[in-house]
Amino acid sequence: MLHYDLHCHSTRSDGVLSPTDVVRRAASRGVDVLGLTDHDELAGLDEAREAAQEVGIVVVPGSELSVTWEGETIHVLGLGVDPRDSPLATGLAGIRNGRDERARRIGEALEVAGIPDAFEGALTYVTSERLISRTHFARYLVESGHVRDMKDAFKRYLTAGKPGYVPHAWASLSQAVTWIRGAGGQAVIAHPGRYKLTASGLRSLVAEFRDLGGAGLEVVSPSHTSAQYTEFAALARAHGLRASCGSDFHGPGESHLDFGDLPPMPAGVEPVWSDW
Ligand code: AMP
Ligand code: MN
Ligand code: MN
Ligand code: MN
């Protein structure tokens, strides 16, 4: 049986390993089919594909798109997209564009909260001039001793209602699904257990997503408990959606699950790769 991991990040967004090192690590830990899904970005895929040929695994070209749906940030994975598709590339460039201005404002907000120079500090962790993320602020806050760890950085400073949080309007759900489908890919709602939605809010997101042409739900994710694997498998089935799995790996020591450690998909779902 092939081992699939369809969600991870490299230095082209907020991961700590280069696309080559991501692929090598995944291969050495038993992954056969790896989706590289940098946030709002496709730039690591050529390098990842070359590395994949060297180590004999398959890289699925992907991206994790930032979306705003009813005021909440939702992540939508595009799997199997054509990296040369121009509407997708343009759409992603548009999503990335807002990040610089937002990062400056996060820096200002943290300054008001008593943490000076956080923007400059975050920049020292940025590994692609095309993309700055809250993760880079979190790494700076940890290293500068303002917080204990990444989780603490988000909990105390970087999430809604906290002093360094700056609300942001990303792409719409419909734009994201349209770009992904237009590029020949499958749209998958990432880590549905992470959103601050009620059960009925989540059902309405999933129903709208399915009606827009969405293909699947990420059922197995380190963001989920094993009870949630069962819950989201049922949710996918109920809406005629397929199921995906991914480690959401960002770097050694930073992620809950390393490559190769994903538990199996629950029984009774159709995997997103069933016709690959
Ligand atoms: P951004 O797209 O700039 O808003 O940053 C979102 C990223 O922050 C996610 O992709 C995660 O990598 C990271 N993140 C969000 N919440 C947490 C958390 N509680 N602990 C660690 N990382 C987080
Ligand atoms: Mn991330
Ligand atoms: Mn995500
Ligand atoms: Mn991710």
**Could you read off the pLDDT of 59-117 as tens digits, one per residue?**
999 999 999 999 999 999 999 999 999 999 999 999 999 999 999 999 999 999 999 99
Residue 86's pLDDT is 98
What residues sit around ligand 2, an ion, with C-beta below 5 angstroms?
14
Q: Give me the pLDDT at residue 11, please.
A: 98
Mean pLDDT of 45-72: 98
Query: Mutation test of ligand 1: which of 7, 100, 135 has the most ligand atoms closer than 8 Å to its C-beta?
Result: 135
Joined tokens for residue 105? 């404002």
**Is pLDDT above 90 for 256?**
no
Q: Is 254 a residue whose pLDDT tops 90?
A: no
Gap between the Cα atoms of 207 and 108, Å rounded: 38
User: Which tokens in the block code for residue 239?
Assistant: 């809406």
Q: Strands of 2-91 (E only): list them.
A: 4-5, 33-36, 58-69, 72-79
pLDDT at 257: 94
Q: How far apart are CA 185 and CA 177, in angstroms?
A: 9
pTM of the model: 0.98
Q: Is residue 262 a contact partner of residue 246, using CB atoms and an 8 Å limit?
A: yes
Query: Any residues with Cβ below 6 Å from ligand 1, and which?
Result: 14, 39, 66, 133-135, 150-151, 154, 250
Asked if residue 216 lies in contact with residue 243, where contact means CB atoms within 8 angstroms, the answer is yes
Residue 221 alpha carbon to ligand 1 centre in Å: 14
CA 89/CA 137 separation, integer angstroms: 26
pLDDT number for residue 73: 97
Using alpha carbons, select from 205, 276, 275, 216 the residue that is nearest to residue 242. 216
Instruction: Check whether 152 has a pLDDT greater than 90.
Output: yes
